[in-house]
Amino acid sequence: MQYRKSPLPRVVAILVLVFLHLGGKTFVTEATLHWPQSKREAMRVRLIAMAESDPRSSFFSTHEVFVAAQQLKAEDESRLVKLVYAFLPYQPRLSEYGFNYSLIYELHAKRDPTCDETLTQMTTDQRDSTHRSLKYTSDSPVINTDRRYRPLPCYSSSPEDYTNIVNAPVKRENEF
């Protein structure tokens, strides 16, 4: 004798689902993202030294890390910042536009507090704690490394954020 399963449990389950869908109270979930907006700000910087430059990859993005002098609102005031310039294999490096202190780079950059570093951290290889020297531009002022205990604000940029380069006369500073 063969037993046949009753279709009643399936029919009841379907009716319950239909009732919940049509007649039951529906709840709309409201999602709010609490991520900070990616605000890019216009900057004018002079490159002082290159701290790190990865070899160009054929497939992945690479980056250059600079110590730069950001021009503040007053033309004669500036501050040291860390600038991370990320680029893809087919895009030019920032240093290829001219690695010279007399050039002012106009670009948009995003403030990234997670990558703030002191000059000591920037010149120390984290893997083996060896000292790396900065590669200075030919006419840049000397960086005062005694200020190594204060982190430099970090900004990230890319070729899409690069707008212009201006050749401007250099007001000679002895050191930063």
How confident is the model over 22-75, as pLDDT tens digits?
A: 665 555 555 566 665 568 889 999 999 998 888 888 888 899 999 999 988 876
Other Cβ atoms closer than 10 A to 30:
5
Is pLDDT above 90 for 110? yes
Identify the pLDDT of residue 111.
94
Q: What is the mean pLDDT of the chain?
A: 80
Is pLDDT above 80 for 20? no
Identify the pLDDT of residue 141.
82
Q: What is the pLDDT of residues 148-168, one digit of tens each?
A: 678 999 999 998 888 888 877
**Rg from Cα positions in the chain:** 28
Domain segments of the chain as ranges: 43-167
Kindly report the pTM of this predicted structure: 0.72
Strands (E), 17-140: 40-53, 62-71, 78-87, 103-111, 135-136
Is pLDDT above 90 for 120? no
If pLDDT is split at 50, 70 and 90, which confidence band does 121 have? confident
Q: Backbone dihedral region of 129: left (phi > 0), alpha (psi from -120 to 50 degrees) or beta?
A: left
Residue of higher predicted confidence among 30 and 117: 117
Interval 7-24 mean pLDDT: 72
DSSP 124: B
Identify the pLDDT of residue 36.
59
Identify the pLDDT of residue 98.
82
Identify the pLDDT of residue 26.
53
